[in-house]
Amino acid sequence: MKLKLTTAALCLMPLLSHANSNNEFSYFGLALQNNNYDINFIPSIEQDSFAPLNYSDEQSGKGFRGFYGYQFNQYFAVEVGLGLPGEANFNIYRDTVNNKNEPTKETVYEGDFKTLSFDTRIIATYPITGSFFLRAHAGAYVWDNDFSYLQESAESYSVVEKSDTGVSLLTGFGVGYGFNDNVAATIDYEKTDIADISTQTIVASLVFRF
């Protein structure tokens, strides 16, 4: 599936042809994103039931996205992107000491939530000044996800691993600033679902015109 996502992105790029006016151009960019997930790694299990073990999780992570787009005019663009969203994870551990008598943590169970993504989106832009603009977008978010969570059975626990692919609606809005005719920066808030997990993302991007 990961190879299919990459191939789809590369095949779509030639469709976005070069431009011939100030408001019509091709562009590419790189983005740093912080993904926040509404995720439960221990469904149907009470957290205090792990005692004397300890439970911790991280429901957000930093990821990356590369993208290629075409601006038709000052109000409308289309874009494709390939992303590696941030990972979430959980850890169940016991407090112990090592051979130097130093406090340490011994992992008993662990799992994660990780994804590869490909997206296509339509972007509406509205210039406020010559450099500052507002933007909003909607599109299709294709995800390939691996999800590990804890399950209780017969007075014990086991880590269940699940892999899935799907397509979700992607929406977002943000602001942008053009440093010059060739370079701009944008900040966006995005929302989608990955494997039925609600996902909210803050994205900071650098955009290069060519």
Cα separation, 207 vs 210, whole angstroms: 10
**Domain count of the chain?**
1
Give the confidence band of 197 by pLDDT, cuts at 50, 70, 90. Answer: very high
Mean pLDDT lowest among 120-124, 149-153, 182-186, 193-197: 149-153
The CATH number given to whatever domain includes residue 124 is: 2.40.160.20
Which residues are bridge partners to 118 per DSSP? 82, 142
- CA dihedral 97→103→106→107, nearest 10 degrees, is 180
Residue-range definition of the domain harbouring residue 98: 2-209
Element (H, E) at 132: strand 132-153
pLDDT tens for 140-189 read 999 999 999 999 987 789 999 999 999 999 999 999 999 999 999 999 99
